[in-house]
Amino acid sequence: IIVSLSINLTLFGVAVVYLLLASENLHQLVKNAGKDISFCIWILIIAAVLCPPSMLGTPSDMSLVAVGAIVSTSAACIIIVANAVMDSADAPPAQPPPLDAINSFMAFGTICFAFGGHPIFLTL
């Protein structure tokens, strides 16, 4: 019971962080494009879009979700590599952020949340 509770709380926390991150990214993207939709509205929109697929019963029911994940990840990788190649000529040399306690904890927290979905892999 304790392990199950811990896994469920971790997965809930990871989902909340990703929901906030996606909402902030879309808010900034749309704001830069000229339309200002509230960050709070974006949270509701993303939650409404992601709620139906989360109610699917088994991984075999999620084949369309997997195809969507493959397509969106591939598109993101292509766009990122293309922009990196185009920007490489004009970009100044990269300067790493200063090493201090806050940056260290931020990096550690990002890594923890990036791998936060690992308990579900055993189920899949």
Domain boundaries defined on the chain: 1-57+92-122
Question: Which residue reads 């029911």 in tokens?
Answer: 61
Tokens of 42: 């974006």
Contact residues for 11 (Cβ-Cβ < 8 A; gap 6+): 116, 117, 119, 120
Mean pLDDT of the chain: 82
pLDDT computed for residue 4 by the predictor: 81
Q: What average pLDDT does the segment 49-71 reach? A: 79
Q: Report the range out of 6-20, 24-38, 83-97, 108-122 with the highest average pLDDT.
A: 24-38
Instruction: pLDDT band for 88, please (50, 70, 90 cuts).
Output: confident
